[in-house]
Structure 1
Amino acid sequence: MNPPNNESNEPSFWRRPAGMVLVTVAIIGGFFFLREHWGHVLGYWPYLLLLACPLMHLMHGKGHGGHSSHSQDSGRTHHGRK
């Protein structure tokens, strides 16, 4: 198994100088935004935590019981042979 052959060895956008500048500006802007509006953010914190629970379940995809397919292949080895 060989990795895909990429003709161009260009770094991703986030590794380029423009991407690093964008990330840096976003972090600095986020810091000053939170600094100015921290009182408002703290008021919504419990609701954001409650919203995070169902969102994590949706992002996970399979939810609870996603490992049930492992029991079907219990008699097989790694290559599919017994």
Structure 2
Amino acid sequence: MPPFERHLRAGLVVHAVVVFPIVVGVFTEVWSRQIGLLAAVGTLPGTLGGSIVPDADHPSSRPYRLAYRWLPVVAAGTVALLLV
């Protein structure tokens, strides 16, 4: 399994490759600035999230370890707040 950082780097590269033609379209005035901004900034969280999805279910991955440690605490706190 590739390390977590390699997944994120691959996600950034894919994001850049996908967004580059849209940014070129904005500079050549094919598309508006709002579409370019939405493509460049609005899709970044989804791209980075998607790049770590293959890593999320492996027991030694960071997302898995964080969820294993904090998900029960957050769920218990939420239930306690709802009961109060």
TM-score, structure 2 length as denominator? 0.29
More helix by share: 2
TM-score, structure 1 length as denominator? 0.29
Computing the radius of gyration from Cα coordinates, the structure with the larger value is 1
Q: With CA pairs under 8 Å and 6+ residues apart, which has the higher RCO, 1 or 2?
A: 2
